[in-house]
Amino acid sequence: MNKIRLVAVLALLASLAHAADFFFHDGDRVVILGDSITQQKLYSTYIEAYALTRHPDWKLSFRNSGWGGDTAWLRQRAHPDEGKLFAAEGAALDAMVEKSVGDGLARDVLPLKPTAVTIDFGMNDHAYQAFRPDIFRAYVRSQTELVKVLAKNGARVALCTPQPIEENPQKADANEKTKNDSLRKFGDGLKDVAKASGALYVDQFDPYMAIMTTARAANPPQHIGGGDAVHPGPAGHTLMAWAILKSLGATPLVSSADIKCGFWSSAKNEQNCKVSNVKFSGGTLSFDRLDRALPLPIDPKAEPALKLAPVVDDLDVYGLKVAGLKGDKYALTIDGAAAGNVTKAELEQGWNMACVKSPMLDQAQEVLQLVFKKNEKYFNRWRNVQLGKDPDPAKLAALDKEIADLEAKIDATRQPKVHHFELKPAPAAPAG
């Protein structure tokens, strides 16, 4: 095997190793289970968009099964007597939880035949009050049952803590502290459940709390994530998705390549991409690049989150490194359209182009918008038609086709394309 092929094989093996560490796998049918925070269809859509754009060759489907007011014992789906549930212990508790969780999953989750499920409960479970051991007992038993039933039906499970409550953005008052102390204890219990059951534990409470605490030092006028005390806006959901994805094993690499300019210009160290037709003439560098992934699409409404957490560094590295340039500053065009300016020093160090305006980022944003549309369509199909008073089979079939058509369009849209890059010396700024 020649050296070039060996490098390519090693890069492919590295890429496959990273993919193997990711919670989602090729062929997965993913269900996102939770309460009203999940029902917002924000963090779940951002996570879905990451998986779809980072692995465009994978066959994946995602379904959001969030229900406002729900809990680990699936209150909104099975309606157990909570007074009796919290008072029960031992065999009585087991029986109540098994029925409630079993009925709720049988209706809303198991028919989807999931192979991977993320669960985000705890916000309603702690009842917005000081820690109560009786509720905690029901919570732990219910989370354990969720994992048991899902695993028995062939699904891997990730148990997520909720993000903290942020009642007053300008100070941490006693009421908020009481609730968050309770949430933290529920999170500690969830960690024990994950360890005992073999589920993946996902902590978004502590990373979000650290960001919230730091941001408050600047006396912000509103919640750091937007929205309200319990339901963040797009920025907060981006922070949630960042924390969750990191725990799920998501990696930053989109793709990267090094290019050496000179008499024999060439590309090397290509990771998850292929660079061809490298030319360096008259101070201009040009090349074609085919990536095996797209940059992470960030919801335009969520951009404040990028100033609060290293979302781009942790999840979105689309690298270009160039050596041998002579000028100090360069203008980049991609497919003939202006994409931005960059310095020689930045290119020598390695430039992350993830947030640069480009056809690739536009393509990823189109994927994100299609995923939003598909998720709204599925929510309507599930909640308003399937669970409606008089579900119409013909309407369900029509909606299923619309969802399938959207998923086919998403799959087509997320496929990478070859793009032509040119780096030309930028004109010097006028004196004075």
Domain that holds residue 306: 1-21+252-432
pLDDT, one tens digit for every residue, the chain (432 residues): 343 333 333 334 344 445 668 999 999 999 999 999 999 999 999 999 999 999 999 999 999 999 999 999 999 999 999 999 999 999 999 999 999 999 999 999 999 999 999 999 999 999 999 999 999 999 999 999 999 999 999 999 999 999 999 987 666 688 899 999 999 999 999 999 999 999 999 999 999 999 998 988 877 767 888 889 999 999 999 999 999 999 999 999 999 999 999 878 888 899 999 999 999 999 999 999 999 999 999 999 999 999 999 999 999 999 999 999 999 999 999 999 999 999 999 999 999 999 999 999 999 999 999 999 999 999 999 999 999 988 999 999 999 999 999 999 999 999 999 999 999 998 766 554
Predicted confidence at residue 179, as pLDDT, reads 96
Predicted confidence at residue 11, as pLDDT, reads 39
Predicted confidence at residue 222, as pLDDT, reads 74
Predicted confidence at residue 6, as pLDDT, reads 34
Name the domain boundary from 247, 262, 291: 247
Query: Exposed, middle or buried: residue 142 (CB in 10 Å: 0-12, 13-18, 19+)?
Result: buried
Name the domain boundary from 195, 213, 247: 247
Residues 6+ away with beta carbon under 8 Å from 397? none
CA-to-CA distance for 62 and 117, rounded, in angstroms?
10
220 with 333, same domain: the answer is no
Residues 6+ away with beta carbon under 8 Å from 176? 165, 166, 167, 168, 229
107 with 238, same domain: the answer is yes
Name the domain boundary from 188, 220, 247: 247
226 with 310, same domain: the answer is no
327 with 410, same domain: the answer is yes
The answer to whether the CB of 175 falls within 8 A of the CB of 167 is yes
189 with 203, same domain: the answer is yes
| CB neighbour burial string for 36-49, b if at least 16 within 10 angstroms, e if fewer | bbbbbbbbbbbbbb
Q: What one-character-per-residue DSSP string does 345-408 give?
A: HHHHH-EE-TTS--HHHHHHHHHHHHHHHHHHHHHIIIIIIITSSS--HHHHHHHHHHHHHHHH
CA 217, 221, 226, 229 torsion: positive or negative? positive
420 with 325, same domain: the answer is yes
Predicted confidence at residue 15, as pLDDT, reads 44
61 with 172, same domain: the answer is yes
What does the chain come to in residues?
432
90 with 205, same domain: the answer is yes
Predicted confidence at residue 431, as pLDDT, reads 53
Predicted confidence at residue 7, as pLDDT, reads 36
SS3 assignment, position 157? strand
CA-to-CA distance for 67 and 145, rounded, in angstroms?
19
Q: What is the CATH number of the domain that holds 59?
A: 3.40.50.1110
Predicted confidence at residue 13, as pLDDT, reads 39
123 with 11, same domain: the answer is no
Predicted confidence at residue 265, as pLDDT, reads 85
Predicted confidence at residue 2, as pLDDT, reads 40
Q: What is the 3-state secondary structure (H, E, C) of 241-276?
A: HHHHHHHCCCCCEEEEEEEECCCCCEEEEEECEEEE
Query: Exposed, middle or buried: residue 355 (CB in 10 Å: 0-12, 13-18, 19+)?
Result: middle
270 with 209, same domain: the answer is no
15 with 91, same domain: the answer is no
Number of domains, the chain: 2
290 with 199, same domain: the answer is no
